[in-house]
Amino acid sequence: VAEDEVLYEVSTDKVDTEVASPASGFLAEIVVAEGDTVDVGAKLAVITTEAPGGGGGATPAAEPAPDDEPPAEESAAEEETPDAEAEAEPQPTPAPKPEPAAEAPEPEAPEPVERTPAPAPTPSTASVPTSPIGGGKLLSPVVRRLVAEHGLDPEAITGSGAGGRITREDVLKVIESGPVEAPTAPAAAPTAPTRAVPAPMAATPGERDTAVPHSNIRKRTAEHMTRSLATSAHVYVSIEVDFEAVERVRRAAKDEWKAAEGFSLTYLPFIARAVVDAVADFPEVNATFGADELIVHHYLNLGVAVDLDYKGLMVPVVHDADGKRLRAIAREISELAGKARTKKLGPDDISGGTFTITNPGPFGTTMTMPIINQPQVAILSTDGVKRRPVVVTGADGSEAIAIHSVGNLTLTWDHRAFDGAYSSGFLSRVRELLETRDWAAEL
């Protein structure tokens, strides 16, 4: 193996992370089989500087040369290795198993996957992924597995990743497009026998159907959302907000802001900032529900849901948001969103959230009722803001019709933790702050 060559993929509840080799050498031993759940800090493999008895080491050493994998991503993965392993190893390979949809309901689903890659005993596994299956291309474990299962030729797949790297999505597109000639079919043969069980499932869809394997993020999201609905007493309250005070400041500052910060000034940071102050007045929305007590957090770690180009959802966390003003919150949200979309989030970036905001507003939604992110007790949805006619009251008490920027905020809350008056009071306070604060002073 070569330094920075992808060795394996680890998975957390929200993140799939490819881990690169910290140094060049030979993969002498694979200690953990695919699909295993191991303790934090457990040894996964052994890399030596000398070829283990049988040679063949020249191949992995030579092949990394054509590797076009992005150094930034690789080094990020390498730097995050200790933390990524610590958080992700509990479920290293649910990602490979996604395609057998029928396995999802079975608690022991990971076991079939463990047996599938059982060929791990041979140290030469380090060479197998890059030569027999990958040809001249280095493939991540997940991509390599999909290629083998479907008898595809990696050389015939155009990679959309940095440097032409083949991603999981590239392989799935080829699978969905229909049969592809596979000159490397013999190489997939060893895997076929162990994948005999999934085969019938792949044949289940009709001629006009396509079976799309669940990604690890999709599987984890499904598990968490189902568990949340079964755990919390979900109730919803929505409120209309006049964003005109925010819009005036945003419109006046947007060009200067974009030039100085490098990203656009949206409504989200204003809403997040209002939430920070509203939580101070209604602290129980920032809590965890226990069997005998409500644990109220005297700090606000604000989770912000980030869409991954329709391929999943991550919730990075702005830690200690209660000590930050609008500009700092906006910067951190932008930075975390960028890291989420480039798969550079570390375990610390997605842990410790105490309250969450989800923002479907850019899609023009009217009212969204999200599911609570456990073990929290509330989540706020920010929907689309549009120019609408509203009734405004003048200084002399007279009323007039004006065109303002108006949108809805919806709070999903756990009725076990508090009641409707409390949740409505919190949401009303958020609205009051958005409509009356001197936002120009915040910038």
| Closest listed residue to residue 64, CA positions, set 10, 121, 131, 9 | 131
Separation between Cα atoms, residue 190 and residue 121, nearest integer Å: 14
Amino acid 223: pLDDT: 94
pLDDT at 139: 75
Q: Say which range, 86-90, 283-287, 344-348, has the weakest mean pLDDT.
A: 86-90
Band of pLDDT at residue 191, cut at 50, 70 and 90? very low
| CATH class of the region 232-442 | alpha beta
Which has more pLDDT, 290 or 69? 290
pLDDT band at 312 (very low <50, low <70, confident <90, very high): very high
pLDDT greater at residue 17 or residue 388: 388
* DSSP string for residues in 206-240: -TT----PPPHHHHHHHHHHHHHHHHS-EEEEEEE
Cβ contact 37:104 at 8 Å: no
* Chain mean pLDDT for the chain: 79
Would residue 234 show up in a list of annotated catalytic residues for this protein? no
SS3 category, 99 = coil
Domain limits, the chain = 6-212, 232-442
pLDDT for 304 beyond 50: yes
What confidence category does residue 206 fall into, taking pLDDT thresholds of 50, 70 and 90? confident
Question: Percent of the chain, pLDDT > 70?
Answer: 71
Global confidence as pTM: 0.61
As a whole number, mean pLDDT of residues 135-161 equals 74
Collapsing DSSP states into helix, strand and coil, what is residue 288? strand
Return the higher-pLDDT residue of 253 and 17: 253
Q: How confident is the model at residue 376 (pLDDT cuts 50, 70, 90)?
A: very high
Is 277 noted as a catalytic residue in this protein? Answer: no
Q: Which of 68, 281, 348, 419 is catalytic?
A: 419
Of 288, 253, 282, the C-alpha closest to 267 is 253
* Residue % of the chain over a pLDDT of 90: 50
Mean pLDDT of 388-402: 94
Does residue 390 have a pLDDT over 90?
yes
Q: Which of 68, 90, 216 is nearest to 142 (CA)?
A: 216
**What mean pLDDT do residues 424-438 have?**
98
Q: Taking a C-beta distance cutoff of 8 angstroms, is the pair 138, 69 a contact? A: yes
